[in-house]
Amino acid sequence: MQGCDVMNFQTVDYIDWFRINWHDIDYDLATSGLHPVSLSDVNIHLDDLNLGKTLFFGHPKLVEMISEIYGVEENEILITSGSTHANYLMCALLIEQGDEVIIERPVYTPLLDVVKFFGAKVKYLERKYEEGYNLNLEQLKEMTGKDTRMMVFTNLHNPSGAMTNEKTLKAISEIADDNNIYVLSDEVYRDFIFENAPPIFSSLTQLGISTCSVSKFYGAGALRVGWAMCREELVDKARKLNDYILAANSCGGEEIAALIMENRSWFVEKIMNITKRNRPLVKSWIEKREDLEGIVPRHGFICFPRLLLDIDSMELTELLLKKYRTMISPARFFDCEKHIRIGYGGDEMILEKGLEYLGFALDELGGSEK
In a domain? residue 17: yes
Domain boundary among 263, 291, 308: 263
Question: 24-54 pLDDT, tens per residue?
Answer: 899 999 999 999 999 999 988 888 887 777 7
The answer to whether residues 278 and 209 belong to one domain is: no
Rounded-to-integer distance, Cα 189 and Cα 171, Å: 21
Give counts: helices (H), strands (E), the chain: 11, 14
Do 212 and 273 lie in one domain? The reply is: no
Do 105 and 217 lie in one domain? The reply is yes
Residue after which a domain boundary falls, among 239, 263, 287: 263
> What residues form DSSP beta bridges with 14?
none
- End-of-domain residue from the set 228, 263, 298: 263
**Confidence label for 86 from pLDDT (cuts 50, 70 and 90):** very high
Query: In the predicted model, is pLDDT for residue 100 greater than 70?
Result: yes
Alpha carbon of 65 to those of 11, 62, 169, 186: distances in Å? 35, 5, 24, 19
Whether 248 is in a domain gets the answer: yes
Residues forming beta bridges with residue 339, ordered by sequence position: 306
Residues 53 and 255: their CA atoms lie apart, in Å, by 11
Query: Are 192 and 276 found together in one domain?
Result: no
Distance CA 248, CA 221 (A): 18
* Residues 221 and 271 occupy one common structural domain: no
User: Is 68 in the same domain as 196?
Assistant: yes
Is residue 330 domain-shared with residue 240, that is, in the same domain?
no
Q: Tell me the residue length of the chain.
A: 370
Predicted structure pTM score? 0.95
- Pair (317, 210) in one structural domain: no
Reduced DSSP (H G I as helix, E B as strand, rest coil) percent helix, strand, coil of the chain, to 5: 45, 15, 40
Residues spanned by the domain of 355: 13-35+265-364
Residues 28 and 164 in one domain: no
Residues 139, 22 share a domain: no
Same domain? For 176 and 321 the reply is no
**What's the domain count of the chain?**
2
- 137, 100, 125, 130: which is closest to 115 by C-alpha? 100
Give burial (CB, 10 Å; 0-12/13-18/19+) of 38.
Answer: exposed
Q: How big is the chain by its Cα radius of gyration, in Å?
A: 20
Q: Indicate whether 135 and 244 sit together in one domain.
A: yes
Asked if 83 and 286 touch (Cβ cutoff 8 Å), the reply is no
Any idea what the CATH number is for the domain that residue 147 is in?
A: 3.40.640.10
Helix (H, G, I), strand (E, B) or coil at 301: coil
The pLDDT tens digits for 108-145 are 999 999 999 999 999 999 999 999 999 999 999 999 99
